[in-house]
Structure formats: C-alpha cells, structure tokens
Structure 1
Amino acid sequence: MSVKGTVFIDFSRCVGCKLCEIACSLTHEGVISPNLSRIHVLNYNWFNIPLNCRHCEKAPCVEVCPTGALFKDEDGVVMINQEKCIGCKMCAIACPFGIPQFDEVTGVMFKCDLCADRIAKGELPACVEACPMDALMFGDINEIVANKRIKKAEDIGKSLKII
C-alpha cells in the first residue's frame, strides 16, 4: 500500500460536528463509537480542535515502543502491529499529542493509519471524506497550500470584480 500525503486540518473551518469521528469508527470498527475513533474533536473555549496523528518524522511513540509494535512504513506513516503490542501505553505517554489509545476490549493500543487501505483504492481517508466543511484535507502540504493560495486569489479577484 502506498500512502502519499497526510491529513491536514484547517481549524478555522471545523464546526465540531464530529462526523470525522463517526466515519473513522465506522470504517475501522464497524460501529459508531467516539472511543474507537482515531481522530478526536476537542472543544476548547468555543474553538473546535480536531486532533489526529501527525505521523512525526522522528516519532517519539515509535522510539519508546519496547516491542517494535509501532513502526514507520515505507511512506513514513506511523503504523501499529497490534499482534506485537503488549498494551504498555508507553506510546501514548511519549506522544506529544496523546494520540495512541488503549482498547479496553483487546488490551492493545490503536491509532490512525491514514486509512491506508482506502488510499490504496484511490479513496480519501474516511475522516476527510466525511468532513462537510472541508476542514480536513488529504495530500501533500505543498499542493494543499498552493491550492489554498489560488482559491484565496480567486476570491479576492471576484470581490474586486477583476475576475
């Protein structure tokens, strides 16, 4: 499977609907459960803040995993092999975003895998596809920034009646 890109968040567009959480838990677990979602939307002082794995270049979660259950694949996606996981929670402690979570039922950790199986089929990650406000975007950061700049320039041109 080849995953090119990552999920980027435009915090100013998130309305806190939590459809990303629902889509994630349905995709990965087949049930609607915020506890089993790999993305979480926090509300802080009237701001909605979606939190997801950043797939860090030097991922602290990978570095502290005593069994090697957490690893980076060939595309730089931080993945977890649940068969190797012993549920020690060291990855959750080391992660600056608190992303890896403990599954009480299975006794092992789980986290975002960027929906690698969906991407391999040419689909977007479930959270991105479900976001009605386009607050979640998937792709290469340079392409996303370039597209946002073009869109902003077009909006300015329309408001000035240049376009």
Structure 2
Amino acid sequence: MKRIYVNEKWCLGCHLCEYNCAFANSGEEDMVKALKGKPLFPRIHIEEDDKISFAVSCRHCEDPICVRSCISGALIKKDGAVRIDREKCVGCLTCVLVCPYGAVTAGEDGAALKCELCLNNTRGEPACVQGCPNNAIVFEERQGEA
C-alpha cells in the first residue's frame, strides 16, 4: 500500500503541506475563501527544532492502536488506510492519547482528525505531497512494508 513518507533532510519547514492539506479537506473550491482568517485544521503537522523540520502524519499502522482503542468504533482500517467515521466519533480523543506518532489531533468540532491519504478529495497524490515545493513528502510503496 502506498503511504506518505517524509525526508527531513529536504523539509524546509515552510508549512505548505499544512495549508494544502487544510484546503483539500475544507470542501471549498477557493483556497483564500477556505483558509483566510480562519483557524487551520490540517491533518499533517510540521515539527521543528533547531536543526531539522519534518512533517508528522498518520503512518496507517499495520495493527493501529488508535483503532483498537476507539470506544465508539469511529476509527477503522479499510483498504490499508486508517479512516475516521466522523459521525461515530464521540470526541473522547483516546486515539490522540494512544497514537505513538502524535498523528491524531482534535478537529474544529472536537472530533478526531488525522490523515486519510486524501482518499475522498483528490486524484492521484495526497494534497500535502502535491504542495511540497522541495519533494520532502512522497507518496509511495516501499519494499518490505505492509
């Protein structure tokens, strides 16, 4: 299965992946209308320290602890991707607490929010990959990974 991978050596820390993600998941046709003057709720986040920047997003684990921990059954693994049924999410955010990668956050409405590989909103690559100016984020299948 294809997944998102990040090469921190190439990450500029520009946050364009976050903007592209938030826009792609906004349901709007115009980026300015979707994002200007509004809080962003991207499903990928840039972490930075003194020497490196890197994007954090869901790794769609083989045996995801977030799915096993979800009390409402809102998190499921379908076709290799961990997905959220936002109608079922009760906002307990147990998934946020148990994710070892920090890839699940609370959304604007209090429900869990995480990368779903843009399966519902783009053609081809996820928006963060398309919007990365330095190709630090890639969407590919790697040998030896399930």
Provide TM-score, normalisation by structure 2.
0.86
| Residue deviations 1:47-88 (CA, integer Å, cap 9, x gap) | 102101001111111010011100100x21000000000000
Q: Which runs of 4+ in 1 moved over 2 A?
A: 30-35
Matching of residue 12 in structure 1 with residue 15 in structure 2: no
Find the aligned partners of 1:126 and 1:60 in 2 and give their Cα distance: 26
**What letter corresponds to residue 138 of structure 1 in structure 2?**
F
Q: Write the mapping of 1:10-159 to structure 2, written as runs, cut at 5 A.
A: 10-29=7-26, 30=28, 31-32=34-35, 35-73=40-78, 75-103=79-107, 105-118=108-121, 121=123, 123-142=124-143
Find the aligned partners of 2:105 and 2:45 in 1 and give their Cα distance: 11
Is the contact made by 2:19 and 2:40 (CA closer than 8 Å) also made in structure 1? Answer: no
Provide TM-score, normalisation by structure 1.
0.78
**What letter corresponds to residue 42 of structure 2 in structure 1?**
S
Please give the root-mean-square deviation of Cα atoms over the aligned residues, in Å.
Answer: 1.8
Higher helix share: 1
| Residue deviations 1:109-137 (CA, integer Å, cap 9, x gap) | 11110001356x3x210000000101011
- Of all paired residues, the percent bearing the same amino acid is 36
Is the contact made by 1:25 and 1:34 (CA closer than 8 Å) also made in structure 2? Answer: no
Is the contact made by 1:41 and 1:49 (CA closer than 8 Å) also made in structure 2? Answer: yes
Q: How many residues align?
A: 136
Find the aligned partners of 2:60 and 2:49 in 1 and give their Cα distance: 24
